[in-house]
Homo-oligomer: A and B are copies of this chain.
Amino acid sequence: MTHIPGRFEPPPRRLMGPGPSPVHRRVLEAMARPVIGHMDPETLRMLDEIQVMLRDAFRTSNELTFPVSGTGTAGMECALMNTLEPGETAVIAVSGAFAERMVEIARRCGADVEIVGDRWAEPVPTAEIAAALDRRPETKIVGVVHAETSTGMLQPLDEIGALCREREALFVVDAVASLGGIPLEVDGWGIDVCYSGSQKCLSAPPGLAPITFSAEAAAVRANRVQPPRSFYLDALFISKYLGSERRYHHTAPVSMLYALHEALRVVLEEGMEARWRRHAEIGSELLAALVDRGFQAVPPEGYRLPQVVCVRLPDSLAEPDARRRLLGEYGIEVAGGLGELAGKVWRIGLMGESCDREHVKALLDAVDDLLAA
């Protein structure tokens, strides 16, 4: 018998990485409520309310809209596994690590992947996607990451939906880091499948991945030749639990649903437009202040996310030492770079609850200390 460890007390942290973001006191309190059953009529009613609120947040009327019982990567798998069959073609616009993950997962679905762009931190022009669809007219889905947290880059989406409709491809969007932070219009932009994560701009704990499927995308799942490679993420089976049949599929993570329900209430009380404005304003204030201090934005102007500020460090700050000091001495978490940006950049999250001027001031004060040292 091993020694039993002590109770875990998380240290005080100011979360300014690209997720998880700080969780509102109301949401933490919701998590502490007693667990009830996943088939309880009250749980099912709460789940209905979550679906209504998610439709509001996604700006969609899609019936099939729900939280996947896993983190953002599970949402990505749910989107791709339900829409792709072996041998089908996926065109994926790549400008960072999460689009590369989309490529990896599409390949594990057995798809033939056509990569477009493939330049980190550079948005993919719609014309390049159109050219890929000319080369591969049989394309089943076009996959795009809206807010690439590995590079802080915003990919414009508004023209791609019409292109996909014209070429009869499904438009699949990764909105893990964008939902609740920057404008996202699932129906308005013609998006067929859109997934997000609970722990970014929604400021719930990590563990759920909101997702929505258009009627066309739901029909693609319903009419598959082979079932999806995952049973757990099978949207058709999940829809029978969500819908009037109430058929058991898997045990829903009830406490996480409490958290998401309350987090969505906080989001909608503020209002989507107000939330987008807050992120835009405070994000540009932070970036301007960092540029003043010798940092350089990684993505080109006009394509910078306010909620994930990705900046190259001035020569006077060394990675990972400066970042470790931020955490150890100031209790501030920011993230380093992934892939080719490792050791060169910081990724600073201003997501949901961390997107306020007090957080910005605390970070800048600490950076000034480090620069003065």
Using a CB–CB cutoff of 8 Å, the interface residues on chain A facing chain B are: 1-2, 4-5, 7-13, 15, 17, 19-20, 22-23, 28-40, 42-43, 46, 49, 52-53, 55-56, 69-74, 77, 101, 104-105, 108-109, 197, 199, 205-207, 227-232, 248-256, 258-259, 261-262, 265, 268-269, 271, 327, 333, 335, 338
Contact = CB atoms under 8 A, between A and B. Distances in A.
A369 to B, nearest CB: 21
A322 B271 CA distance: 44
B72 A69 contact: no
Nearest to A104: B231
B8 A36 contact: no
A36 B5 CA distance: 19
A4 B269 contact: yes
Contacts of A333: 36-37, 40
Central interface residue in A23, A104, A250, A253, by most chain B CB within 10 Å: A253
A22 B36 CA distance: 8
A43 B23 CA distance: 16
15 contacts: A2-B52, A5-B49, A10-B43, A11-B36, A13-B36, A19-B251, A22-B34, A22-B35, A28-B31, A35-B205, A40-B327, A69-B70, A71-B253, A77-B231, A197-B251
Contact of A254 (B49, B55, B69, B205): B205
A206 B34 contact: no
Nearest to A338: B248
Contacts of A53: 2, 4-5
Nearest to A334: B37
Given A5-B53, A251-B197, A28 B32 contact: yes
A53 B69 CA distance: 24
Contacts of A37: 13, 15, 17, 20, 333
Contacts of A1: 56, 268, 271
A46 B8 CA distance: 7
A255 B31 contact: yes
B8 A262 contact: yes
Given A52-B2, A230-B108, A34 B8 contact: no
A215 to B, nearest CB: 20
A84 to B, nearest CB: 12
Given A71-B69, A232-B70, A250-B71, A13 B32 contact: no
A34 B23 contact: yes
Contacts of A108: 227-231
Nearest to A16: B37
A250 B72 contact: yes
Nearest to A249: B73
A10 B250 CA distance: 20
A227 B104 CA distance: 10
A10 B257 CA distance: 12
B72 A265 contact: no
A247 B348 CA distance: 19
A363 B145 CA distance: 52
Contact of A30 (B8, B56, B252): B8
A141 B354 CA distance: 48
Nearest to A234: B108
Contacts of A23: 34-35, 255
A365 to B, nearest CB: 21
Contacts of A52: 2, 5
Q: Closest 9 A-B residue pairs measured CB to CB?
A: A207-B253, A32-B32, A205-B255, A31-B31, A229-B229, A5-B49, A73-B250, A206-B251, A10-B36
